[in-house]
Structure 1
Amino acid sequence: MPQQLAVIVLVDVGNALESRTLDGNTYLFDNMKLQGSENQGSGELVTAINGSYWSDGSQASEQVLNWLPYSLGSIPPTVPRGYEAERARQTDEQALTELDHLAATSGTSGADAAAELSRIRQSAGRRVKTTRRTRGRLSGQKVLDVTGKVVSDGGTQAHSYPAPVITDIYGQAVDEKVIYPAEYGSPDLVTDGWYWSATVDTSRPGTYAYTMRIQLHKLVEQGGESLWEPVNLTCESKIRVTTEPKRNAFTQAGLGLLPVPPRAFS
């Protein structure tokens, strides 16, 4: 049965957007450290993939790689699915309550009323305009900071970035048909229902590089509106495929009947 190998792609989105590169801004982890993976927590990860073969030399089993991208310094992906929408609804309700109070205060001067309206507008925040390239989870959401508070001025205030999105996986490992990557649908809401996965041909021992094309989103102000502008960058990683004979996990010997001590039949 194939083993599920996970590669976590953790991106410092703020620094990556500022420097326009993922070099030095990407931290890669996998669950094969005890099996020989190297450079955990850096941009130079080499994922160990241990294959096996039968006594006749044929491939015994393939492995499966899964890539999961996350943003460093953003709202954790483990919060409830509707967290952003719920926070936006709460600020809308608060702004409506304050408007009702302002309308009921008939003695407020024009200058004071204008100042109060400006404050309410700031506390309600601003929604990001939906574009053709930012439909889906980014559509019409308010901008939040890492504590979940609504950001009123996206151009100057610190804010939480959307999770990075892997849009393609290519390079040596793909060209030489060692891995076969594709994007799959998933019921896991943390990954927005999509994730990248690949089967690995473990009959091809060696070290192979591959490149991930990752899309980040930068908050920009355009025509008085806030927009998420896609920014496409790339980062490289490697896999190291090794093979060994298939053996019995209990005895560490070749496949066959388990040795049974004679006293077991007495």
Structure 2
Amino acid sequence: MAQQLAIIVLVDVGSALESRTLTGNTYLFDNMKLQGSVNQGTGELVTAVNGAYWSDGSQAGEQVLNWLPYSLGSIPPTVPRGYHTTRARQADQEALAELAALANRPSANGDTDAALARIQKSVGTRVRTTARTRALSGQKVLDVTGQVVSDHGQGAHSYPAPVITDIFGEAVDEKIIYPAEYGSPDLVTDGWYWSATVDTSRPGTYVYKMRIQLHELIQRAGDWTWEPVNLTCESKLRITSQPRRNGFTGAGVGYLPIAPATFA
């Protein structure tokens, strides 16, 4: 049976956009540290992929890789899927309530102007979307605490999660891995994730590259919009053919210590 191996791609989006590179701004983790993966938490991760074998030593099946991209210093991906929409609606409702209270309260023009400026600041700005950023439609700019951001030039806003748009390179060209994007009911991955089966019958170290799309908040013709920025980073897989130590018995590959069945 294939084993599911997860690779977390954590991107410091703010620094990556500033330097226009993922080098030094990407941190990779996987769940194979105890099986030989090295350089965890760096951009030089080498993921250990061990062959799956039957008791007679024959190959049992491929391993499966799953890539999950996240943004460093943004709103956690574990919040409900409609969180941004909910916060935008709350900001609008609060602004309407303040406007209603202001309309029913007699005040001087100076006080009214100050109150309107405060309401405008609290309601924030809805980001205009384009054909390339349609998935971010209807969202307002939030900070990492979920509050609406009014001053977009300060760079204190939360960035959208990175999006892997392609996986290519030596490992794909040599037919070591077969990557593809799949649909999923998992709300954390927004319904899509990249996965690949691995041919474990060919030991060696192979490089693969990921094309990752980030989004930068810029102003065009008076409107704020998320502009896609495509960058590339790479990682490695080290495929081994020798069976690993049995995690249940602590010994070599063999049968599990299960008592023989008794029959009446």
* TM-score w.r.t. length of structure 1: 0.90
Equivalent-residue separation in structure 1 for 2:123 and 2:159 (angstroms): 19
1:135-146 to 2 correspondences below 5 Å: 135-136=134-135, 138-146=136-144
Residue identity in the other structure for 1:200: V
Task: Name the SS for the 2:28 alignment partner.
Answer: strand
- Which stretch of the first structure deviates more once superposed, 77-86 or 25-34? 77-86
Name the structure 2 match of 1:46: 46
Does the aligned pair in 2 maintain the 1:55–1:245 contact within 8 Å? no
CA drift at 1:253? 5.4
Aligned with residue 172 of structure 1, among 170, 186, 191: 170
Task: Name the SS for the 2:99 alignment partner.
Answer: helix
Structure 1 162/245 Cα, relative in aligned 2: closer, same or farther at 3 Å? closer
1:205-224 to 2 correspondences below 5 Å: 205-224=203-222
> CA offsets per residue over residues 99-133 of structure 1, 9 Å max, x none?
1111112x323333222212111110000112111
Equivalent-residue separation in structure 2 for 1:246 and 1:145 (angstroms): 45
> CA offsets per residue over residues 116-153 of structure 1, 9 Å max, x none?
212111110000112111112x1120100001110012
Structure 1 201/114 Cα, relative in aligned 2: closer, same or farther at 3 Å? same
Name the structure 2 match of 1:124: 123
5+ long unaligned stretches in structure 2: none
Count of aligned positions = 260
Equivalent-residue separation in structure 2 for 1:52 and 1:195 (angstroms): 24
Measured on the aligned residues, the alpha-carbon RMSD in Å equals 2.4
1:1-266 to 2 correspondences below 5 Å: 1-53=1-53, 59-105=59-105, 107-136=106-135, 138-244=136-242, 252=252
* TM-score w.r.t. length of structure 2: 0.91
Task: Name the SS for the 2:160 alignment partner.
Answer: coil
Structure 1 253/90 Cα, relative in aligned 2: closer, same or farther at 3 Å? closer
CA drift at 1:52? 3.9
Task: Name the SS for the 2:152 alignment partner.
Answer: coil
Equivalent-residue separation in structure 2 for 1:179 and 1:152 (angstroms): 45
Sequence identity of aligned pairs in percent? 73
5+ long unaligned stretches in structure 1: none
